[in-house]
């Protein structure tokens, strides 16, 4: 090191010692020729020569070559200006690094800063590393021994973020133990910037000479969501209060990781939290298993959902012919009002209700035929909940779909003909699914159906009357639950339905299906989040957790975030709600604080010096050619100008995209999320076409009809949503010209209104009106439904259905008389969200879930996408296949 200048490879500078030898080598001249007299040449002795050849190399050329050689040597030696050292002193450095959940988002930058510090100080001083979060084995933070540069870098490479907060109390003890072991330690703290309990004690023990802190403004924490009164999922996000508005996208994801919906949470300046709601159809809302922040690393950006935060779809069926919703008297009047807030309620017959995807079914005095019993047996085995209330229709002859055998007839506990008095509800069975509920004090039962005491299994009794008679029976069958409440759902036999605790009973029962949270006993970790926010197996340090302590548990190595429960159900333990509120750390005054991205870096001059050396060598080459007469001065100046310029030759008029290679296009909507899906979906189809066919498509392009040229693209995909405006006159003219010129316009909506066909019904209520609004100015030909006999159905793959993200909606093409001269339809219109099914992320995984996600749905959607492209490129070249049966019959004749 020479002052602030050092060299990355100083040994290479030894090559400068060879410059004197190079000097004499360049100055060396060939040996003098032997002199031989030739008399006739004496006549030429007095003629003056016009050119003289120098005996030695010109001094300036010699200097030029020596300078070039010196620059090459110095450039490879790696000269650099080293910034002032971050730390003074000579003892080992104790480097404490926060690696809790709050450090996960910038953990790569954190490790890079630690490596930079190690590179700067490890040559003269040892390194002692301390990670402030305990590990998955349950071990508290412990300081390492004194490490050299290689050992410290290896230890940093093995360090990773943990899915729980840093344990600064244990880290303070580890610092004290390290100072007792190793004298002269200088502390350095790589902080996450977040305040936490024990931070002041930890800083006092570490006594840092410098703090390198991440910005708390980048920390995001998803809080436990809520359900609105109409059943919508409300996402909540917490941040450290900031001066500017915070906008953060949030994704609702299915169990496969596919994104079902995306919203943006906006947090006002100075606020600590914000919220936004997901408006999803019930069929999609029931598939949401987690919320996630796109691009956010760590468990703070993931919110796992359990039964308490999932929308419940409940079916209600009543026996008899009376109005079940009659005020105060109807068999379903009180049950409907006792359902949890946000529940989606459906009524009808048993078969259609089960087929619609409900999670629980409540039957109010409904006799069952064999077909219904078979349907309900399959529903329960698959994870559904069936709750049966008794009544006068089912009492005379109870069927076999009960948790235990029931006796015929009705037990009378009150009234003129009764021998006793109405009985109160006693305490619920300990250890049962209803344990923890408060028995209604004023509720009494005057009539009930009796369980057969001769065959009664005590395990099926979930609640009893004060005289010990069972009143609620339940049993788990397969993955579901069957419950029998042995009295009516209205006030005919009991006043329980009007008790204040009746909604708690109904809420507990309808959540007993697959994934329902256990209500008593010990919870065990099933799958836990790691430091990057993905689910995995629990570590050795995880310990069982009592249900009663769950709400007040702080995430830690013993209780990591994830899904807890047993084989019957699970409950989500998340970072949000189980860590202290977010606040910026109060760092000690007088200690220098540096940001992760503000560490001083060395300025390296090797590359520009090598570039200068290369320029000198090129100049030497040109000068040598000039001196030998192999190059004219004018040509040399032109060559120098070309070498010095960095401009490339460009065509006077740029070639439009799509003119040199075929590519697909999509209409820009102005919504980045929709445009991203269109681009990704068409890109995936282009890749499949390139792989499966002889065509070679370029990357898809976004266009604006009327502004961008669209006549060069064979296929134009136009996604329509409820917010799509009517196109202007220029756009309409451009789209009409595109169809008239042989292009294929594919118009696709993201589902439709509640009365639309297919599984996308209700997903985008304004899509139908937007489709009519967007196409009103276009010359759309008469349309017919696409069938498996049309050429489009077999241009490459043999397709019998044409699904996308949704399925079941018809696809329309031009009628035969309205197609072009080759019989090709200029337009295809559907409402299955094809791009949503095609789109994949960078790793090749689908980005949107399918509905209803039948086997092969995504594959058939891709087949139809390839058929669309081949139809746009080749027209009806495969239409003869339709006539093959007739041709074969003629040949047979």
Going from N- to C-terminal start, the domains of the chain cover 1-17+56-82+602-643, 93-217+583-599, 218-308, 313-510, 522-573, 663-882
Contact 756, 726 (CB under 8 A): no
Contact 161, 100 (CB under 8 A): yes
Cis peptide, bond prior to residue 852, ω within 30 of zero: yes
Give me the DSSP letters along 121-136. Answer: HTTTS-EEEEESS--T
- Which tens digit of pLDDT belongs to each residue from 478-514? 878 999 999 999 999 999 999 988 998 998 898 887 5
Question: Range with the lowest mean pLDDT among 395-404, 518-527, 698-707?
Answer: 518-527
Q: Is the pLDDT of residue 123 over 80?
A: no
Query: For the chain, first and last CA: distance in Å?
Result: 98
**DSSP letter (8 states) at residue 13:** G
Q: How far is CA 684 from CA 267, 408, 838, 842, 861, in A?
A: 36, 63, 6, 11, 12
Q: Which fold has domain 218-308?
A: Immunoglobulin-like (2.60.40)
Contact 123, 153 (CB under 8 A): no
Q: How far is CA 89 from CA 178, 186, 204, 780, 849, in A?
A: 18, 8, 19, 81, 59
Give the predicted TM-score (pTM) of the model: 0.62
- CA 114 from chain centre, in angstroms, equals 29
Query: What average pLDDT does the structure give for the chain?
Result: 84
Q: 574 or 306: which carries more pLDDT confidence?
A: 574
Q: Is the pLDDT of residue 646 over 80?
A: no
- Between β-strands 302-304 and 290-292, what pairing exists: parallel, antiparallel or unpaired? antiparallel
Backbone dihedral angles phi then psi of residue 128, each to the nearest 5 degrees: -115, 120
Instruction: Report how far residue 153's alpha carbon sits from residue 749's, in angstroms, rounded to the nearest whole number.
Output: 54
Q: How far is CA 101 from CA 109, 299, 364, 551, 757, in A?
A: 15, 7, 49, 20, 46
- Which tens digit of pLDDT belongs to each residue from 171-216? 999 999 999 999 989 999 999 989 888 999 999 999 999 999 888 8
Instruction: Report how far residue 657's alpha carbon sits from residue 131's, in angstroms, rounded to the nearest whole number.
Output: 53
- Which tens digit of pLDDT belongs to each residue from 334-350? 999 998 877 788 888 99
pLDDT tier at 638 (50, 70, 90 boundaries)?
low
Q: 425 or 83: which carries more pLDDT confidence?
A: 425
Helix %, strand %, coil % of the chain (to 5): 30, 20, 50
pLDDT tier at 358 (50, 70, 90 boundaries)?
confident
Is the alpha carbon torsion for 508, 512, 513, 514 positive or negative? Answer: positive
Q: How far is CA 110 from CA 99, 181, 188, 213, 455, in A?
A: 9, 27, 13, 9, 66
- Between β-strands 461-465 and 470-477, what pairing exists: parallel, antiparallel or unpaired? antiparallel
Token pair 């899904």: residue: 563
Q: Identify the CATH homologous superfamily for domain 663-882.
A: Domain of unknown function DUF4159 (3.40.50.12140)
- Between β-strands 385-389 and 480-485, what pairing exists: parallel, antiparallel or unpaired? parallel
Contact 420, 446 (CB under 8 A): no
Q: What percent of the chain has pLDDT over 70?
A: 86
Q: What percent of the chain has pLDDT over 90?
A: 36
Tell me what pLDDT residue 133 has.
94
In CATH, the architecture of 93-217+583-599 is 3-Layer(aba) Sandwich (3.40)
Contact 744, 868 (CB under 8 A): yes
Tell me what pLDDT residue 494 has.
92
Instruction: Report how far residue 113's alpha carbon sits from residue 129's, in angstroms, rounded to the nearest whole number.
Output: 14
When the candidates are 3.50.50.60, 3.30.930.10, 3.40.50.880, 3.20.190.10, the CATH number that belongs to 313-510 is 3.40.50.880
Query: Does 313-510 match 218-308 at the fold level?
Result: no
- Which tens digit of pLDDT belongs to each residue from 409-440? 888 876 555 556 888 988 788 878 888 888 88
Question: What is the pLDDT averaged over residues 358-384?
Answer: 90
């Amino acid at each position: 090191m020479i002052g602030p200048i050092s060299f990355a490879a100083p040994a290479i500078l030894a090559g400068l010692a060879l410059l004197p030898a190079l000097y004499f080598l360049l100055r060396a001249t060939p040996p003098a020729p032997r002199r031989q007299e030739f008399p006739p040449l004496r006549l030429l002795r007095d003629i003056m020569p016009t050119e003289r050849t120098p005996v030695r190399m010109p001094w300036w050329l010699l200097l030029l070559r020596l300078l070039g050689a010196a620059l090459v040597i110095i450039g490879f030696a790696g000269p650099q200006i080293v910034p002032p050292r971050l730390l003074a002193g000579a003892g080992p450095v104790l480097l404490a690094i926060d690696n809790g959940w709050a450090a996960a988002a910038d953990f790569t930058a954190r490790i890079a800063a630690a490596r930079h510090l190690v590179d700067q100080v490890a040559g003269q001083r040892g390194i002692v590393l301390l990670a402030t979060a305990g590990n998955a084995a349950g071990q508290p933070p412990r300081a390492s021994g004194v490490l050299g540069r290689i050992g410290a870098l290896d230890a940093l490479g093995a360090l990773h973020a943990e899915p729980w907060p840093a344990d600064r109390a244990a880290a303070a003890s580890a610092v004290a133990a390290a100072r007792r072991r190793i004298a002269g330690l200088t502390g350095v703290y790589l902080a996450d910037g977040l305040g936490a309990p024990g931070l002041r004690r930890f800083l006092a023990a570490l006594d840092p000479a410098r703090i390198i802190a991440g910005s708390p403004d980048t920390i995001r924490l998803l809080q436990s969501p809520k359900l609105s009164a109409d059943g919508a999922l409300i996402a909540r996000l917490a941040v450290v209060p900031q001066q500017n508005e915070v906008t953060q996208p949030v994704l609702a994801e299915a169990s496969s990781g596919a994104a079902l919906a995306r919203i943006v949470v906006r947090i006002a300046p100075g606020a600590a939290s914000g919220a936004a709601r997901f408006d999803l159809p019930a069929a999609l809302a029931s598939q949401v298993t987690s919320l996630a922040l796109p691009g956010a690393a760590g468990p703070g950006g993931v919110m796992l959902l359990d039964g308490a935060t999932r929308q419940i779809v409940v079916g209600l069926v009543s026996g008899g012919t009376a109005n079940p919703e009659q005020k105060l008297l109807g068999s379903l009047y009180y049950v409907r009002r006792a359902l949890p807030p946000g529940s989606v309620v459906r009524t009808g017959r048993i078969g259609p209700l089960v087929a619609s995807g409900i999670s629980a079914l409540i039957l109010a005095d409904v006799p069952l035929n064999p077909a219904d019993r078979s349907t309900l047996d399959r529903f329960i085995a698959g994870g559904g909940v069936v709750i049966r209330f008794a009544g006068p229709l089912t009492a005379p002859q109870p069927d076999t779909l009960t948790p235990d055998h029931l006796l015929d007839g009705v037990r009378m506990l009150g009234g003129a003909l009764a021998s006793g008095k109405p009985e109160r509800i006693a305490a619920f069975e300990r250890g049962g699914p209803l344990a923890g509920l408060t028995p209604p004090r004023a509720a009494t039962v005057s009539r009930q159906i009796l369980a057969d005491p001769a065959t009664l299994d005590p395990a099926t009794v979930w609640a009893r009357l004060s005289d010990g008679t069972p009143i609620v029976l339940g049993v788990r069958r397969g993955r579901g639950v069957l419950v029998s409440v042995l009295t009516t759902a209205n006030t005919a036999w009991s006043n329980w339905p009007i008790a204040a605790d009746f909604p708690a009973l109904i809420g507990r029962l309808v959540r007993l299906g697959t994934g329902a949270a256990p209500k008593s006993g010990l919870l065990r970790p099933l799958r836990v989040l790691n430091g990057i926010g993905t689910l995995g197996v629990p570590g050795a340090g995880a310990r069982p957790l009592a249900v009663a302590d769950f709400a007040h548990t702080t995430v830690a190595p013993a209780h990591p975030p994830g899904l807890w429960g047993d084989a019957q159900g699970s409950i989500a333990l998340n970072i949000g709600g189980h860590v202290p509120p977010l606040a910026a750390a109060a760092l000690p005054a007088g200690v220098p604080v540096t940001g992760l991205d503000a560490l001083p870096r060395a300025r390296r001059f090797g590359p520009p010096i090598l570039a200068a050396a290369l320029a000198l060598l090129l100049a030497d080459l040109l000068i040598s050619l000039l001196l030998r007469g192999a190059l004219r001065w004018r040509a040399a100046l032109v060559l120098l100008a070309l070498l010095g310029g960095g401009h490339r030759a460009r065509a006077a008029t740029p070639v439009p995209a799509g003119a040199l290679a075929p590519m697909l296009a999509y209409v820009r909507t102005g919504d980045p999320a929709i445009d991203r899906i269109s681009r990704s979906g068409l890109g995936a189809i282009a890749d499949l076409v390139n792989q499966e066919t002889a065509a070679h498509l370029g990357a898809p392009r976004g266009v604006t009809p009327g502004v961008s040229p669209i006549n060069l693209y064979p296929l134009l995909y136009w996604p329509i949503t409820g917010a799509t405006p009517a196109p202007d006159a220029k756009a309409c003219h451009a789209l009409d010209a595109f169809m008239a010129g042989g292009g294929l316009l594919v118009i696709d909506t993201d589902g439709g209104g509640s009365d639309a066909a297919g599984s996308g019904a209700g997903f985008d209520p304004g899509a139908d009106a937007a489709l009519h609004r967007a196409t009103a100015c276009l010359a759309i030909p008469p349309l017919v439904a696409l069938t498996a006999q049309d050429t489009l159905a077999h241009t490459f793959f043999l397709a019998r259905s044409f699904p996308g993200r949704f399925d079941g909606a018809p696809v329309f093409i031009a009628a035969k008389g309205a197609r072009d001269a080759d019989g090709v339809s200029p337009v295809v219109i559907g409402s299955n969200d094809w791009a949503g099914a095609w789109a994949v992320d960078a790793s090749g995984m689908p980005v949107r879930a399918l509905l209803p996600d039948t086997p092969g749905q995504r594959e058939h959607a891709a087949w139809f996408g390839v058929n669309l492209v081949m139809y746009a490129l080749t027209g009806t070249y495969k239409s003869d296949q339709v006539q093959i049966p007739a041709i074969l019959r003629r040949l047979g004749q």
